[in-house]
Chains A and B, each alone.
Chain A
Amino acid sequence: MNWEKIGDFLLSFKKKSIYLGMFILVSIPLIMKMSTRTYITEEVESIYDKVEEVYEYNQENPNDKQAIFVSIDFAPSSKAETSPMLNALLRHAFMRDIPVLGWAGVRTAADYGIERLNSVAKEYGKKYGEDYIYLGIAYPFLQAVLSLNSDVRIFSSTDYYGTDTYEIPIMKQFHSYNNIGLLVSISSTSLSELYIQYSNTLFDQDVAAGVTAVNAARLYPYLQSDQLVGMMGGLKGAAEYEQLVNKLEKKVIGEDVKNYLREFYKKKDPSEYEKKYYEPKFTETQLINKMNSRKLARMGMSSQAVAHFYVIILIIIANVGYFIKRKYE
């Protein structure tokens, strides 16, 4: 057997064929809408448990509720990883009737943030200004974070829509760290670390993070020092949270979520809802999208799994080729 030729062959894969292989392998699971299950890690489960803790606190103290503050700090480039985290977290909070406050830490997330909030709020009939609020872009970011210590209304004088924050009902009760049970930064940047350094260290605010896989390694030390309640790292973290929330949803709403959503606004008076935020009804296409959004991260995980195996196989092939060449040359 001509080992040298085999070695040469194993090391001769062209860039184009490697790219084509990657493209095909990543596309198939996405086109087939294949979704995988994943195991739940402690760091993701602790965010889920903390949200449940806020829910239980609110049940026991209906006049002194706590809210969840969501900071949307990711650029569109990382939407595939971070958007499922945001969806799952918002669904959890709205399902548990927890007030939600949000803003965008980066300019490119400002419009996407309100679109997500309105879209998920619609699934649970939540009303803008009463059940949730979006303050638009937090700029300059550091001052925005510091302002939450006293009264964020001094800093963010208007919300995303330009309404005076002193006039918005939800802001009367929730405007500082005192009434925020958990602050979650969904981020593709280093802004999560600023929340740890300022909100947690200076003001003792419970902080959790949802970050891209490349950023996750940087935050592990904060998890061990308990400066971070929990962390969703990359698509896997998002898939874990998605699984936990889907399980809860089945318990709270029932098995047939699609039918529940279809019937939801039929029992309600449409005049209760302002069309500026969302249309109080679901079309069939929207229902399909809503159901798909419940397995978005797990669908991405299938592609990611195939891509990981592909990279590993290529590295093994290259190393076998390298080994043969070294031995027989």
Chain B
Amino acid sequence: MNFWKRRLPLALTVIYGLAGFAMQIIPALNGYRDIQNSWMPILFGFSIAIGVASLTKYHFTKMRRQPEERVYSIITFISLVVMAVAGLIGMSQDGGVFTKLFDNLFSYVYVPLQATIFSLLAFYITSAAYRAFKVSEWISTLLLVSGFIVMLGRVAFGPLMVFGKLSEWIMAVPTVAAMRGLLIGIGLGIMATAIKIILGIERSYLGGE
């Protein structure tokens, strides 16, 4: 059991991690990248199956244990089944009922729902800005003034063009300075984590430890 659950996944991680490096830095091995790439959709296909199984299991458990939230789980499960069935059958019937069902559900249910949720942000942000954006210290004043300049700069015209130039400077100098620091930090973090995983030091993805 230890072999299937721990040693084998660990060995595969080390082998494929090192192979990935090798394929990148040794020109003679570059050709194998295409083989690796064409394997990936198959592996990811299995991950979808695992995802669906996991989602189904989670919501069935929730339906049993949390009756007050049962309705949400039922809606999620029905949506999953209907979209999957409509999509899968629709694939082989171009222009048929199932294709139309899938397209209509996507265009007239999913898209407006997503757009609505995102649009609500404008309202929440306005209300939150009114309530929370207070000038109390010099640092919050600085943030507020920069925010004003960028907001005016994005829509600048005529005499407001001075804000356009200032906004460009804010985005190109202080923002880049901060972002560059963040990106370098993130990059180093990714590298360190990748090395730890490949060398088998970081094993939390196997569960436990």
Contact = CB atoms under 8 A, between A and B. Distances in A.
Interface of A: 13, 15, 18-19, 22-23, 26, 36-39, 41, 75-80, 108, 111, 139-140, 143-144, 146-147, 149-151, 154-155, 202, 213, 216-218, 220-221, 224, 234, 236, 301, 304-305, 307-312, 314-315, 317-319, 322-323
Interface in B168-183: 168, 171-172, 175-176, 179-180, 183
A108 B122 CA distance: 22
B129 to A, nearest CB: 5
Interface string B112-129: 001101100011011101
Contact of A18 (B41, B127, B175): B127
Contact of A39 (B148, B161, B176, B180): B161
A41 B31 CA distance: 41
B179 A154 contact: no
The A interface, classified by DSSP as helix, strand, loop or mixed, is helix
Interface stretch (B7-15, B54-62, B66-74, B103-111): B103-111
A311 B118 contact: no
Contact of B103 (A108, A111, A221): A111
A304 B154 contact: yes
Given A18-B123, A147-B37, A218-B183, 5 more contacts: A18-B130, A111-B107, A143-B37, A301-B155, A314-B130
A97 B112 CA distance: 34
B34 A220 contact: no
A154 B37 contact: yes
Given A217-B171, A224-B172, A312-B152, A151 B34 contact: yes
Contacts of B117: 77
A308 B24 CA distance: 47
- State which size class the interface on B falls in: 35 or more
Contact of A315 (B110, B133, B172, B179): B133
29 contacts: A15-B127, A18-B130, A19-B127, A22-B122, A22-B123, A36-B155, A38-B155, A39-B157, A39-B161, A77-B114, A77-B118, A79-B115, A80-B115, A108-B110, A150-B34, A216-B171, A217-B175, A217-B179, A218-B183, A220-B172, A308-B155, A311-B125, A311-B129, A312-B152, A314-B126, A315-B148, A318-B130, A318-B131, A322-B134
Interface in B138-170: 144, 148, 151-152, 154-157, 161, 164, 168
A154 B38 CA distance: 7
A143 B171 contact: no
A155 B37 contact: yes
A319 B115 contact: no
B174 to A, nearest CB: 10
A151 B38 CA distance: 11
Contacts of A76: 110-111, 114-115
Given A15-B127, A150-B33, A37 B157 contact: yes
Contacts of B115: 76-77, 79-80
Nearest to B106: A111
A305 B24 CA distance: 47
A109 to B, nearest CB: 11
A77 to B, nearest CB: 4
B131 to A, nearest CB: 7
A233 B135 CA distance: 29
Contacts of B38: 147, 154-155
Contact of B122 (A26, A140, A221, A323): A26
